Structure 1
């Protein structure tokens, strides 16, 4: 085994004068199947193609993309494992100071909008070469899309980058088919029947039976048209019934072919059996290594896809809702190889995927007919056809922990607690808690207000509370001290300041003090981002409240960590603004104590507290609080 060539010396060592393909990526070169670049390059290599890698080229020096010369068939371009703008900026649009996908964890090694920048550099260096873009950044920006950083609708990345083709989704079969046709001398127009790609057309040869959505020019000006276009795009993301999609951009048309079928178990096994080095390139060692390897080197990804389909998540739009799984033999072989690695300490950090406990179709009907159009399998309530089954996953975990040299097998996150509860038998949950939790289990209730959860596409909070009760009951039964760590999100469309207060009270009631909370981040391609931009739920057409101002976002976030001293002033401001001053004080029902500014401002007049209790059609009853002095005089 060996890393693929990264310079001319590597090519000469292999006796190559020219690569067939050169992959240009925004990440450091990590040859591990958790990295899309590693998968695509190894898949092509296994098919007999000569592939080189240019990782994080110097975008300030146009010559760096030329270091491997002109490839015989074309360039493959991606931004890395995540969108380059997400890699660079927080949800508050502040520049990040670190990048786990860069040697030494340093920021700034890739440009903003990396796919576009790399393509433009390649066009200048090799004007006649074929350029194919893919990965998350290209996949989620394949149509006209709202861009949070510009606060505007941008055209398809296929237009802005100048690329010849775009591969969306995971891409193994699509890139192989393109490579073989190019190798046979086919023209770009001969690629148009390949599933899982996008191309530009002049309108003379659009595919029959296509679904045409509103043009770039229209969705840029009309938010209702944007929402309808987004809905159409989401409804066609199924390989069983998806139709071609067309969107006009000026005089050209972006055409998306139907999605590729998900990989079979045999195909997915083959992808994971390729000769990966499973580590970062040795040239990075002197620079401090690549931090992103730490979480994945001794973790196992056993599936793809997610029929949970949360609105803020891009997995359904990128990987699809149908589940693909690896065989037990493939997973066990990977774990057995861990034991031979001198860096392995006996602990498998995670056995998961987009959703860790999905190794079974949501229902039998999806295999033939696809997943139901416009419906979710699990939220707000589970479909009656859902067939919950953890038996195969449980058997896999048992086999993994029986491997000699493996001390512990953990499942750290990605479990759907609502799916777990659908099984009447608690065998999986009991064994999970007894053997596979490392003190803390991360789960994602996200919020506590049901109407906010509806906009997220998540189950109602009562489901989480049932799971919490079961978790602690079983934890006590097996004699362990373990805790649930909730993922929580502030400022999601639909969430008002009062909902954030309700969540703070929920956390206090459940004795949770989250160390981290996530502000909603409007990333390209998701339904929640569509809501954020348009103020409309694209699936129902209903208006949605959207917290937009930096002040409200800051207040919602602070309320989720109301217990932190540095958040006290912001929490007080939030509570005063919605007349919930009953929660400011030193009593057991209060969220925060008054600070000097609050005391000074309210010394003159008695405070009236307004609770949330409302009688039908009546204004809230306001009751004056007793002062602390009056209480002491009792």
Structure 2
């Protein structure tokens, strides 16, 4: 199959005078199932709709938006694989130079808040054309939300964008139903009963019954306690089995979120991944150097969706959901076999994973009928006794992939949930993971070592990580392999004090961990951790949470994790003094850093230290200065 038409000429080359949908995307066009835009547009195409792909249109004039004319059924708009603000700015709010989802890899080909900008242009040009927004940016901003870059609470994106409908979550089933009804001539208002969508109505219009009402936009903007309550309720109802309709008032309008769409089952997932993706980008990008984002995922296989780990800083629970669904073994093997005909394939499958690579089962049997528990996690702070743990099916798939002729190596590079892995009484998978599926390093995410911080992250305590590492190195030693665990660590998460950061630095020293990169907590829309960052409250207890916000403290926490870098020494010493840990400044083995030039043990200057020693020599047992009276007398003379 060919790529979808990207401009008017390619549309006419297909013999089309018009298209049914124009899909507007903030990313360059990559036709690969790791890109959500590729999945949605291939689904539309397979359902018989003429779809054009408008990639990174120039928002500074109207030409790109008008080249296809008015689509017969409407516009679908997405910012791309990630939020456009995250794509543009670092956690320090500095402009990024690179953009992995743009041809040529350089930033600046999409606007800030891309969904809103694109939709406002479309609404001006085609006032009566339906506009449906989706993707990560729209999904995570579907309620009133804290915007880190503006440092204020913003209304639901459906208002600022002037869109008719917002699709949240993965979106395939909603897209199929929306397209079907629009093609049958039904108005946009007839789509308001579809699960997994949000829409807006006036306050005097009909409001669905049996709803959960969130504090209004005006209240969450003024009262941080109300914001915390709203963020908790939003996540509580993000369950396809038991989730209720949510409403949130915005002045004269009401935002309505229907219950989540059921996640795709195995048959539906197999269908989605069987569509005829080119698994590459169009030729027009070759002269620019291609799209860097394809390189890591080109020969990867997604075998599951959903993650019941539900870390507080991760948007997966709010977007993709906690319910795990999987593809069939047959579908996965067929995708791997298709690689063999690709001239770019060298025999290496880079990943067989998903949000969490080693999940193939629902968290428990109970969740199938009752949904996932509202205010309880399956793995943290300790594993739920009802959780079912098995790697048997996943291991069988990996074995069959390894045995395919033409496959040299099958790696697992997406996240392994180590706390789940060590709960499996059968260690076959762990042993074969170590033996066959690691390229020297296995990255896992303990994130921190402080129990207080890990509780705010929704992560298990550090003992599970230590247990995992012991097993890993035992199995690695038996295989006579030179392999290492590389932990992801996060600084400045809500709840992390300077003392907690010192504790993490000492943990790294004891465990001989030297992180090359440290991720500062990034407050992105739609997560519980972002709610904590903004409100300084725990949404589940409404108790106060310490939040490191100043650039100075965040820099100190980050430097502590890389205490071994010489350039960080001044900041590390400053942090240790502020945390009351001068004992860690010195030449002893227990210390994190040696003193700066002109300092002595504990970070004191030599001048101050000599003065302190002199003062100590002149003090008696009761601590009083024996010579003070003598000095005063001589001073008068």
- Tell whether the structures are fold-level matches, with TM greater than 0.5: yes
Residue-by-residue CA offset, 1:382-418 (whole Å, 9 max, x unaligned): 1110010110000011011111100000112311101
Residue-by-residue CA offset, 1:501-527 (whole Å, 9 max, x unaligned): 111110110111011110000000000
Q: Does 1:82 align with 2:82?
A: yes
Q: Does 1:96 align with 2:99?
A: no
Residue in structure 2 matched with residue 21 of structure 1 by the alignment: 21
* Contact 1:581–1:607, Cα closer than 8 Å, also in 2: no
Residue in structure 2 matched with residue 293 of structure 1 by the alignment: 294
In structure 2, what is the Cα distance between the partners aligned to 1:413 and 1:174? 27
Check 1:176–1:587 CA distance in 2 against 1; reply closer, same or farther (3 A cut): same
SS at match of 1:367: helix
Residue-by-residue CA offset, 1:195-215 (whole Å, 9 max, x unaligned): 000000113211110101111
In structure 1, what is the Cα distance between the partners aligned to 2:419 and 2:604? 46
Residue in structure 1 matched with residue 110 of structure 2 by the alignment: 110
Residue in structure 1 matched with residue 158 of structure 2 by the alignment: 158
SS at match of 1:586: coil
Deviation at 1:579, TM superposition (A): 1.9
SS at match of 1:76: strand
Deviation at 1:602, TM superposition (A): 1.3
Q: Does 1:201 align with 2:201?
A: yes
Residue-by-residue CA offset, 1:273-299 (whole Å, 9 max, x unaligned): 001111011110001100000001011
Consecutive unaligned residues in structure 2, runs of 5 or more: 613-637
Q: Does 1:330 align with 2:331?
A: yes
* Contact 2:355–2:414, Cα closer than 8 Å, also in 1: no
Residue in structure 1 matched with residue 214 of structure 2 by the alignment: 213
Q: How does 1:500-515 map to 2 (within 5 A)?
A: 500-515=501-516
Residue in structure 2 matched with residue 458 of structure 1 by the alignment: 459
SS at match of 1:422: coil
Q: How does 1:466-615 map to 2 (within 5 A)?
A: 466-596=467-597, 598=599, 602-606=605-609
In structure 1, what is the Cα distance between the partners aligned to 2:32 and 2:69? 25
Deviation at 1:539, TM superposition (A): 1.4
The range that moved more, 6-15 or 443-452, is 6-15
Q: Which runs of 4+ in 1 moved over 6 A?
A: none
Deviation at 1:479, TM superposition (A): 1.0
* Contact 2:241–2:371, Cα closer than 8 Å, also in 1: yes
Residue-by-residue CA offset, 1:93-149 (whole Å, 9 max, x unaligned): 111010010111011000000000001111122222111100000000000000000
* Contact 1:536–1:542, Cα closer than 8 Å, also in 2: yes
Q: How does 1:412-431 map to 2 (within 5 A)?
A: 412-431=413-432
Structure with higher Rg: it is: 2
Residue-by-residue CA offset, 1:568-605 (whole Å, 9 max, x unaligned): 11111111111211111222111112223646961123
Residue-by-residue CA offset, 1:228-287 (whole Å, 9 max, x unaligned): 111111110111111100000010000000000110100000000001111011110001
SS at match of 2:301: strand
- Over the aligned positions, Cα root-mean-square deviation in angstroms equals 1.3
In structure 2, what is the Cα distance between the partners aligned to 1:64 and 1:598? 63
Q: Does 1:383 align with 2:384?
A: yes
In structure 2, what is the Cα distance between the partners aligned to 1:131 and 1:412? 37
Residue in structure 2 matched with residue 344 of structure 1 by the alignment: 345
Q: How does 1:108-147 map to 2 (within 5 A)?
A: 108-147=108-147
Report how many residues are paired.
Answer: 609
Check 1:598–1:216 CA distance in 2 against 1; reply closer, same or farther (3 A cut): farther
In structure 2, what is the Cα distance between the partners aligned to 1:60 and 1:391? 54
Deviation at 1:62, TM superposition (A): 2.4
SS at match of 2:452: helix
The range that moved more, 58-67 or 18-27, is 58-67
Residue-by-residue CA offset, 1:170-208 (whole Å, 9 max, x unaligned): 000001101101111111111111000000011321111
Check 1:367–1:439 CA distance in 2 against 1; reply closer, same or farther (3 A cut): same
